[in-house]
Amino acid sequence: MNLVVAPLLIPLATAFLCALAQPSPRLQRVLSLGGALTLLICATVLLQQVLIHGAVSMTAGNWPQPFGIQFTADRLGVALVLVAALMVTIAVLWQESDVDAAPSSPALHPLLHGLVAGANGAFLTADLFNLYVWFEVALICSLGLLAQGGALRQLDATLKYFALNLVGTLLLLTAIALLYAATGHLNLVALGDAAARQDPAIMLPLIGLLLVAFLVKAAAFPFFAWLPASYHTLPGPVLALFSALLSKIGICALIRILAGVFQPGQALLCDLLGWIALLSMVTGVLGAAYHWDMRRILAFHSVSQVGYMLLAIALASRAGDAAAIFFALHHSLVKAGLFLTAAMIFRHAGHYDLRRVGGLYAARPGLAAMFLLLALSLVGIPPLSGFWGKYLIVRESLLQGEYLWAVTALGVGALTLYSMMKIWFEAFWKPHPDKSWQLPARPRLKPAYIGLGALVLVTLWMGLYPEPILGFVIDAAAMLRGETP
């Protein structure tokens, strides 16, 4: 079905048209928003098709399997594509405001849509080498967005991001080459079937090497340094898009590999993944507690939240996979919303450093309410969306007898509350340290509030009416494992 590759073709075509429209910035913005909205509509239609017909596939050139390059839209992939479409729409709309928008440049919109194309390709591909290709498309566009502006801190962040992700790229290529040598296949279904017939002593280190490459891409311990070293240099809408997509590419790949390809999961690798998850959770939340820059606090919390997703994957069960998918969707929306809220605080109070802002509760009570809803959802306060994600993870951990994993997840949640309340008290509750501070005159806020409000409404729906999304992710996990929903 051609609709399966539409989430790749639409952002690629939009990027191409935006590149051609460089002489006219206004036309470029119109094309960019039109492409984002088209992608959002296409993702919604594709989701409906998957809900009705199940997973849908397309093989390029009608080559017979397992030789053709295959794309498959299943529940996991199409849900992440829908998130990507929503986030790029919000990012492009946000650019019409003056709330920490990205500097206007001819390359900005082509790079935004190129990043989305790379992420969507990684979410939908059913071929291991093709997964590497789309990883690199996303990486190249990410580097371009990081370097926008050309300031020293941005170039420094770009170098760190590139160096650490290059390690993951080399590991991924090596793992792909060795797996192909051992099995003769790159198609994920054929690869799984062939691996099951191989000597486990040979396959275990190869699968382990592949998982390490994905852990680098997901920003897990001890490979997470690229994320807090680079995210704080990005403008608000680009930072929100990065947060929603980049680590999820690695998480999606890990879920597919351990649940769908090399299933049943390797027990030793899953145990190791569980301990890596705990270290990611603890390291991330402690890093967040240490910092005062809102972007750094939220970036370290992204590392911590990746740990929750890894913990769910490490449980190696249908319920664990469902928890990982739910948590990935929740985190993409909530964390993006928090980064955008931080940009709003910056616009109103004049700084990202919590020690240099304040007084926003009285001045902007609506913004305070939106931040509080998103922050409490990140913490996991019932009945918000974060509660259901953490409940699924803790419940499955206890059922499997992994009591330390469950206790750690709950303890990290308490430390997350500390960081969120630090932002609340410093930015909203205490007076502004500058006695002469006033709200900026006539700011262009409407596009920013529309985007942020949309994220808040979606996350509220996920928390207050969780049955549809919980049923969706449980069926998604069953499809990955070849079980009957």
Tens digit of each residue's pLDDT (9 = 90 or more) over 403-432: 999 999 999 999 999 999 999 999 999 988
pLDDT at residue 59, rounded to an integer: 85
- Which among 313, 293, 290, 312 has a CA at the least distance from the CA of 239? 293
137-156: b (≥16 Cβ within 10 Å) or e = bbbebbbbbbbbeeeeebee
The residues spanned by each domain of the chain are: 6-481
Would you list the DSSP string of 404-445? HHHHHHHHHHHHHHHHHHHHIIIIIISPPSSTT--PPSS---
Q: Say how far apart CA 340 and CA 139 lie, in whole Å.
A: 22
Tokens for 8, please give them.
């790749």
**Nearest-5° Cα angle at 203, 198 to 209:** 160
At residue 264, the 3 state secondary structure works out as: coil
With a CB cutoff of 8 Å and minimum separation 6, the contacts of 436 are none
280 within 8 A of 324, measured Cβ to Cβ? no
pLDDT at residue 485, rounded to an integer: 62
Helix (H) or strand (E) holding 57: strand 56-59
Q: Say how far apart CA 192 and CA 184 lie, in whole Å.
A: 11
Tokens for 414, please give them.
């308490």
One-letter amino acid for residue 269 of the chain: L
- Which among 463, 304, 322, 473 has a CA at the least distance from the CA of 396? 322
Local structure of residue 184 (DSSP, 8 states): S
**Nearest-5° Cα angle at 353, 350 to 355:** 100
Helix (H) or strand (E) holding 323: helix 318-349
- Which residue has tokens 């932002």? 423
Q: Say how far apart CA 212 and CA 223 lie, in whole Å.
A: 9
The predicted model scores a pTM of 0.94
- Which residue has tokens 């909530």? 334
Local structure of residue 266 (DSSP, 8 states): P
Low-confidence ranges of the chain (pLDDT < 70): 1, 263-265, 484-485
CA distances from 123 to 39, 83, 112, 231, 449 (A): 15, 11, 17, 22, 29
One-letter amino acid for residue 445 of the chain: L
One-letter amino acid for residue 28 of the chain: Q
pLDDT at residue 198, rounded to an integer: 84
Q: Say how far apart CA 304 and CA 112 lie, in whole Å.
A: 26
pLDDT at residue 156, rounded to an integer: 87
- Which among 458, 215, 190, 436 has a CA at the least distance from the CA of 313? 215
Q: Say how far apart CA 346 and CA 100 lie, in whole Å.
A: 8
pLDDT at residue 15, rounded to an integer: 96
Q: What pLDDT, in 10s, does the model give residues 30-49?
A: 999 999 999 999 999 999 99
149: left (phi over 0), alpha (psi -120 to 50) or beta: left
- Which among 127, 100, 113, 143 has a CA at the least distance from the CA of 31? 113
Phi and psi at residue 57, to the nearest 5° = -130, 160
